[in-house]
C-alpha cells in the first residue's frame, strides 16, 4: 500500500482525550505522531472508531502545560487485538489555528 501523506509525520508521545464516536464522554488516548494536516492516535477501547467519524480532542503539551483543542475526522482505524486497542489516523479540521501551530512546534522540536 502506497503512503498518501502529503506532510512528514513527527513521532511524539502525548496524552490526550477525545469525545465522539459511539460514546458521549471524554476518553483517554495517546497521540503517536503529528503532521501539518493530521495525527496518529492509539485508543484503548472496547468499542471501535470508524473512518468518517468526527472526534474532538484535548491534547496535553507537557513542556508548556498547555491544552490543545482540535477536531478531526477518522481517516482509518485498525484493531490491535493483542494490545486490546485501536490505532488510527486523524485529519484535522482546524490545522491553521495558533493552537495547532503550538502542537506542530512541539512535535518538530522534541
The partner residues of 19 in beta bridges, in order of sequence, read 56
**Total of domains in the chain:** 1
pLDDT in the model for residue 1: 41
3 falls within a domain: no
Which range of residues forms the domain containing residue 56?
Answer: 10-109
4 falls within a domain: no
Model pTM score: 0.85
Instruction: Provide the CATH number for the domain around residue 58.
Output: 2.40.10.220
49 falls within a domain: yes
| Mean per-residue pLDDT pooled into runs of 10, the chain (110 residues) | 67 93 82 93 80 94 83 91 84 79 85
Closest CA to 77 of 48, 107, 44: 48
| DSSP per-residue codes, 17-68 | EEEETTEEEEEEEEEEEE-SSEEEEEE--SS---TT-EEEEEEEETTTTEEE
pLDDT in the model for residue 2: 47
pLDDT in the model for residue 31: 96
82 falls within a domain: yes
* The three-state (H, E, C) secondary structure of 69-80, written as one string: EEEEEEEEEEEE
pLDDT in the model for residue 81: 77
Amino acid at each position: 500500500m502506497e503512503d498518501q501523506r502529503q506532510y512528514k509525520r513527527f513521532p511524539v508521545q502525548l496524552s490526550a482525550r477525545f469525545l465522539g464516536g459511539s460514546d458521549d464522554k471524554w476518553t483517554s488516548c495517546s497521540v503517536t505522531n503529528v503532521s501539518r494536516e493530521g495525527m496518529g492516535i492509539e485508543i484503548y477501547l472496547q468499542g471501535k472508531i470508524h473512518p468518517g467519524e468526527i472526534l474532538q480532542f484535548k491534547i496535553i503539551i507537557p513542556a508548556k502545560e498547555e491544552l490543545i483543542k482540535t477536531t478531526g475526522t477518522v481517516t482509518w482505524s485498525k484493531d490491535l487485538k493483542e494490545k486490546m486497542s485501536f490505532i488510527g489516523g486523524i485529519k484535522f479540521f482546524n490545522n491553521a489555528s495558533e493552537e495547532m501551530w503550538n502542537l506542530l512546534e512541539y512535535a518538530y522540536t522534541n
